[in-house]
């Protein structure tokens, strides 16, 4: 079978999975509550801002980290926000696992960042 066919099959399996259905339902509940949606949006926006700052070589201060932590803490008290973020996290773990499995499949012939040459040849 062609790898693209497998990829499309995997995409279908993800869309039919409990993880995806849970996230889709949690998103509906989140979007139905403007306050919850705003909280989740604020967390996402602030998280991305701090990630971009760090990737740009700037220092993320302890104060900025603490502000984000407090924002997350308050938002997690809201059931719709909590359900959405937890469902999103579970699907993210699945996606990360799939990415790791795919990377391991090609590791013997591709130098992956963070891998030493002897680590990749051990698996051959």
Q: Determine the CATH number of domain 3-122.
A: 1.20.1500.10
pLDDT tens track for 73-122: 999 999 999 999 999 999 999 999 999 999 999 988 887 666 655 554 55
pTM of the model: 0.77
Burial class (CB in 10 A: 0-12, 13-18, 19+), 121: exposed
Q: Count other C-beta atoms under 10 Å from residue 26's C-beta.
A: 21
In the chain, domain spans: 3-122
pLDDT tens track for 48-77: 999 999 999 999 999 999 999 999 999 999
pLDDT tens track for 14-32: 999 999 999 999 999 999 9
């Amino acid at each position: 079978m062609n790898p693209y066919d497998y990829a499309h099959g995997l995409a279908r399996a993800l869309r039919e999975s409990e993880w995806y259905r849970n996230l889709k339902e949690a998103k509906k509940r989140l979007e139905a509550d403007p306050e919850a949606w705003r909280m989740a949006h604020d967390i996402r926006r602030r998280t991305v801002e701090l990630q971009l700052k760090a990737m740009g070589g700037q220092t993320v201060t302890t104060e900025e980290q603490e502000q984000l932590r407090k924002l997350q803490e308050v938002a997690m008290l809201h059931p719709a926000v909590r359900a959405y973020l937890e469902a999103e996290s579970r699907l993210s773990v699945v996606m990360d696992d799939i990415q790791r499995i795919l990377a391991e499949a090609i590791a013997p012939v591709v130098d992956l960042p963070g891998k030493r040459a002897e680590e990749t040849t051990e698996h051959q």
